Amino acid sequence: MRLEVEPWEQLSARLSDLETLVELGLEEGDDSVEAEIEEGLAQARRDLRQLELATILSGEYDSSNAIMSINAGAGGDEACDWAEMLLRMYLRWAERHGYGHRVVSYVPGETAGARNVAVDIVGPNAYGYLKAEVGVHRLVRISPFDANRRRHTSFASVDVIPQIDENVEIDLREEDLKVDTYRSSGAGGQHVNKTDSAVRITHLPTGITVQCQNERSQHANRRTAMAHLRARLHELERRKQREEIAALRGEQGKIEWGNQIRSYVLQPYTMVKDLRTGVETANVEAVLDGDLDQFIHAYLQSLAGGNGDGTGA
pLDDT of residue 185: 61
Find residue 177's DSSP bridge partners.
Answer: 203
pLDDT of residue 280: 97
Q: CA-based Rg of the chain, rounded to a whole angstrom?
A: 23
pLDDT of residue 305: 56
User: Residue 139 belongs to what H/E stretch?
Assistant: strand 135-142
- Tell me the domain boundaries of the chain: 2-56, 66-162+274-302, 174-248
User: Residue 179 belongs to what H/E stretch?
Assistant: strand 177-182
Q: Do domains 66-162+274-302 and 174-248 have the same CATH topology?
A: no
List, for the chain, all residue ranges whose pLDDT scores fall below the cut of 70: 1-4, 185-196, 245-259, 305-313
The reply to whether omega before 268 is within 30° of 0 (cis) is yes
pLDDT of residue 146: 78
Q: How far apart are CA 162 and CA 151, in angstroms?
A: 36
pLDDT of residue 118: 95
Q: Which CATH class is domain 174-248?
A: alpha beta
User: What's the pTM value of the predicted model, to 2 decimals?
Assistant: 0.75
What's the CATH number for 66-162+274-302?
Answer: 3.30.70.1660
Question: DSSP for 220-280?
Answer: HHHHHHHHHHHHHHHHHHHHHHHHHHHHHTT-SS---S-SEEEEEE-SSS-EEEETTT--E
Runs of H (alpha helix) within the chain: 2-28, 34-56, 77-96, 126-130, 218-248, 284-288, 293-302
Encoded amino acid at 21, one letter: L
pLDDT of residue 308: 43
